[in-house]
């Protein structure tokens, strides 16, 4: 199925995503300065402990978008900078985000598939925790159709945990929405939505700061990594 370009016609409850035009524009200079300090030879850099992050993500207009869906307790629990450029340019197949970042490993029933990514503990929680999260993609560069925009299977956030062998059929059934963006735009989406992206076709950079937000504490002594 060919992607359809999308914009304000997407409905959060129906499609699981919303486009917030220029919502991060006032913070674009600070966000780009943060990105300039990160390695450019990795597809994704996990951010934690940077003094610039809390003022940008834990208060103000960016957090306010997450709070619309999660309420006043919304807080950033993971941040990853994606920088597609000629040195790090790869496609990403259709998948659901199922892991979360935590401060340390604590074995709790229902949590499994532990892994360590860039020195940070990750775990797959019960799906109801992921369903209660919101992800924001903050665009630091223009993202037209040839610069690897995010693709989503609209409405797939309502289908629960999708088995690997059902992904292709689900994408076909839901249809593909293409999340075009200008620098300073934010796309919000339900964290478990099926999504993908192609490799960028040009030589431009495509930097996106992706931030997961949650409003509930984790059980059994587990603690969100945060920012």
pLDDT in tens, 34-51: 999 888 777 689 999 999
Asked, for residue 128, whether it belongs to a domain, the answer is no
State which residues form the domain around 80: 4-97+135-214
Distance in angstroms (rounded) separating the CA atoms of residues 2 and 18 = 20
pLDDT in tens, 3-12: 344 444 789 9
pLDDT in tens, 62-76: 999 999 999 999 999
Q: Calculate the alpha carbon distances from 47 to 22, 34, 82, 137 in Å.
A: 23, 10, 11, 14
CATH number at residue 146: 2.60.120.620
On whether the pTM is more than 0.85, the answer is: yes
Q: Calculate the alpha carbon distances from 176 to 3, 149, 172, 213 in Å.
A: 5, 12, 8, 24
**Strand runs labelled E in the chain:** 4-5, 17-20, 44-47, 75-84, 92-95, 100-102, 112-117, 120-124, 134-139, 150-153, 176-179, 186-190, 195-197, 206-214
How many folded domains does the chain comprise? Answer: 1
Asked, for residue 106, whether it belongs to a domain, the answer is no
Asked, for residue 126, whether it belongs to a domain, the answer is no
Asked, for residue 190, whether it belongs to a domain, the answer is yes
User: Are 69 and 188 a contacting pair, CB within 8 Å?
Assistant: yes
Asked, for residue 129, whether it belongs to a domain, the answer is no
Residue 24 has pLDDT above 80, yes or no: yes
Residue 80 has pLDDT above 80, yes or no: yes
Partnered with residue 20 across adjacent β-strands are: 186
- Give the chain's mean pLDDT: 92
Asked, for residue 185, whether it belongs to a domain, the answer is yes
pLDDT at residue number 92 = 86
The arithmetic mean of pLDDT across residues 69-93, rounded, is 89
The arithmetic mean of pLDDT across residues 133-161, rounded, is 96
User: Are 142 and 182 a contacting pair, CB within 8 Å?
Assistant: yes
Asked, for residue 114, whether it belongs to a domain, the answer is no
Residue 157 has pLDDT above 50, yes or no: yes
Asked, for residue 157, whether it belongs to a domain, the answer is yes
Distance in angstroms (rounded) separating the CA atoms of residues 186 and 60 = 14
């Amino acid at each position: 199925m060919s992607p359809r370009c999308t914009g304000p016609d997407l409905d959060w409850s129906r499609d699981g995503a919303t486009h917030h035009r220029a919502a991060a524009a006032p913070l674009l200079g600070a966000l780009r300065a943060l990105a300039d300090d990160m390695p450019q030879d990795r597809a994704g850099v996990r951010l934690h402990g940077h003094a610039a992050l809390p003022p940008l993500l834990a208060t103000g207009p960016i957090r306010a978008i997450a709070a619309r869906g999660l309420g006043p307790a919304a807080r950033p629990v993971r941040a990853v900078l994606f920088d597609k450029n000629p040195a790090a340019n790869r496609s990403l197949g259709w998948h659901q985000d199922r892991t979360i970042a935590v401060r340390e490993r604590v074995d709790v029933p229902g949590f499994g598939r532990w892994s360590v990514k860039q020195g940070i503990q990750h775990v797959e929680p019960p799906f109801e925790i992921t369903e209660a999260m919101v992800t924001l993609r903050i665009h630091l560069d223009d993202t037209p159709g040839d610069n690897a925009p995010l693709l989503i299977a609209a409405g797939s956030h309502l289908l629960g945990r999708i088995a690997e062998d059902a992904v292709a059929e689900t994408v076909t059934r839901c249809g593909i929405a293409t999340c075009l963006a200008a620098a300073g735009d934010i796309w919000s989406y339900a964290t478990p939505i099926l999504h993908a992206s192609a490799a960028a076709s040009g030589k431009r950079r495509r930097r996106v700061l992706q931030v997961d937000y949650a409003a509930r504490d984790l059980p059994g002594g587990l603690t969100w990594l945060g920012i």
